[in-house]
Each structure stands twice: as structure tokens, then as C-alpha cells.
Amino acid sequence: MPEAPTIRMVREGGPNAPLVLFLPGLTGNNSQWDPVVERLASRELSIAYGAPIRPHPAFDGKQPTVTELAARMKAELDSRSYSSAVVVAHSVGAFVAFALCRLLPDRVQTAILLNGGLTTVARFLDRPVVEMSHEPIRCLNAIRLFALAGSPTPPGVKRVIASSPRLTRLLLGKLASEDTVASQKQRASLIEHGGSTDVLRALWTNRHHWQEFRAYAHLIEAHAIFVVGELDPMSNEADTRIMASMLPDAHLRSISGIGHVAPVETAAVVAGLVGEAIDGLRVSGPH
């Protein structure tokens, strides 16, 4: 095992328990998964949180690519005996999930992608001028999100913003639902992990990953479940359908009233999807 692992185990199940691996988006907010994990407490599962696509000690503090991060996660999983796994990812963590599906086709049988149909955003990073001319509003939304996540913000300022539903709404816009912004706990979960220039480094390093994903998407054997937030300004249903069409086995589930932070906004639905995926796992021998 590496001295600085990219996968943190939060619960060890029995010897034959499947693994559920939760992957965050750019901000690295793994606390958003806690309400989902709480709803899975009665199940015999091993549960782990993955690292975001950000500089990490496992890479000597350097910025890994999506592919490099997935390869390191695979190496760590290879050192364990999990024969089956479900990967649950938020936003751009979907690309790490897909890379893991490609590297571990016999183990990762289901990938649940929350707000992960980022077709326009990924194209914009790859060819910004061309995509801006095609989808200007969506691209401007992407720039706004990158600025929010990538602008350094002192902890005291974050606390002030999180303490006020009005300030949080002004900052997040339509990224989060009204119910989410109304909850102080959920506001804090969303705000505290933003504001780091590492986000911009991650975007720059992986700016052309869309081309790599397109090249291997047809090889992914895992069943992909895309959860689309009806109000999501970043990954709407049309964008998600484009991405899903690139995969051999994928379907969509649209949820009304939520935006771009489905793990926080609809934890019960996410836990239900994880439970269904676990129930449907094909048991195979260890690898």
C-alpha cells in the first residue's frame, strides 16, 4: 500500500462484503457522502472515500491526471481482496469513475454518476473557443463554477457565507436547490470545501481528458447510472444523454427540484440507488 493512499477506508465489511467507493468532485468534498453512508449502516459493506483530482501526497504533491489518479486507486484496490465494487461519483469525479471501470472491468460492475453528464463542460475545457460559440450560456456557467471553486477564500469568510442563506444563494446561484440552501448544515458542507487554486491546476492538467474518455468509453463494461438534477445548470439531461450514448450500458434518472449537488440534496435517493446496485452485484471470485 502507498504511504499516502488515495483511498481512505471508512468502514470494513466482512470478508465477502462488496466495496462501495465514493469519489468527490473537484472541491474534494467527501463529507457530502456522510448522509448517504449513514443510510447504508444496516448493510454488510466495505465503504471508502476516494481522493479528488487534486495535488496529492501520493504524487509527491504534484497534480495527477484523471488517468494517473485512477491507476493509483487501482493499485491500492489490487492490494485488497474485493471481488465486486460499486463506484459512486459526483460531478467531474465521474471521469475518475469511468477510468476505474476501464481498469477494473471484472470488479467495478456498477458506476453511479451524480451530476456527471458534463459533456459541454468537458468539451469547453478541451476546445474553449469552439464550444463557447456553440453553448455560450453553459460555458459561462462553467467559468462561474470554476471561479467559485478556484478562488482562495479565508475560513472566516466561508463561515460568514455559510451562516447566511441569502449570501449562500447569491454565491451558488442555481447550483443548489432552495431546500439545500435553507439548511445550515448543508450550506456549511457546500461552502467549506471550495476556494482553492488547486482546482484551477486540476482543470488545466486535465483540460483535454474529454478526448481520452471518448477513445475508451465504448470499452466500459460496467452498468452506468446517471442521476440528473432537473435544475442543474452544469450537466443537464441533454448533455447527460450525449455522454450516456457513448457507453454500452447506461441509463438516466432525472430528479426534480435538485441542482448540481445531488449527494447533499437527495441523499436518500442516492442511498437507494447504491442499495439496488449492491443487490444486483454478480458475485465472483477474488482477483
Give phi and psi for 152, each to the nearest 5.
-60, 130
Ordered DSSP codes for 31-76: GGGHHHHHTTTTS--EEEEEPPSS--GGGTT----HHHHHHHHHHH
Dump pLDDT digits (tens) for 108-142: 999 999 999 999 999 999 999 999 999 898 888 88
Q: Is the pLDDT reported for residue 46 higher than 50?
A: yes
Instruction: Look at residue 18 and tell me whether its pLDDT is greater than 70.
Output: yes
In angstroms, the CA 272 to CA 138 distance is: 30
pLDDT exceeds cutoff 70 at 2: no
Averaged confidence pLDDT in the chain = 89
CA dihedral 277, 37, 48, 187 (to 10 degrees): 120
Which triple of cell numbers denotes residue 115? Answer: 451530476
pLDDT tens, residue by residue, 52-90: 999 999 999 999 999 999 999 999 999 887 889 999 999
Q: What is the pLDDT of residues 136-173, one digit of tens each?
A: 988 888 888 888 778 887 878 877 877 887 887 777 77
Q: Is the pLDDT of residue 12 over 80?
A: yes
Q: Which domains can be identified in the chain, with CATH numbers? A: 7-127+206-279 (3.40.50.1820)
Does residue 40 surpass a pLDDT of 50? yes
The beta strands (E) that lie in the chain are given as 7-11, 19-23, 46-50, 85-90, 108-114, 223-229, 250-255
Please tell me the predicted confidence (pLDDT) of residue 13.
Answer: 87
Q: pTM here?
A: 0.90
pLDDT band at 193 (very low <50, low <70, confident <90, very high): low
Return all residues near 111 (Cβ < 8 A) that are at least 6 apart.
86, 87, 88, 89, 94, 97, 98, 100, 101, 220, 222, 223, 224, 225
Highest-confidence segment of 18-32, 86-100, 140-154:
86-100
Residue whose cell numbers read 470478508: 15
- State residue 148's pLDDT score: 77
Give the per-residue pLDDT at 129: 94
Residue 273 burial (C-beta neighbours within 10 Å; 0-12, 13-18, 19+): buried
Residue 195 has pLDDT above 90, yes or no: no
Q: What is the average pLDDT across 13-37?
A: 91
DSSP assignment of 219-255 equals: G--SEEEEEEETT-SSS-HHHHHHHHHTSSSEEEEEE
What's the pLDDT at 86?
Answer: 97
Structural contact between residues 114 and 227, judged by C-beta atoms closer than 8 angstroms: yes
Structural contact between residues 136 and 150, judged by C-beta atoms closer than 8 angstroms: no
pLDDT on residue 152: 81
**pLDDT grade for 187, boundaries at 50, 70 and 90:** confident
220-248: pLDDT as tens digits: 999 999 999 999 988 999 999 999 999 99
CB 58 within 8 A of CB 5: yes
Check residue 156 and give its pLDDT: 82
pLDDT at 1: 43
pLDDT at 285: 37
What pLDDT score does 282 carry? 57
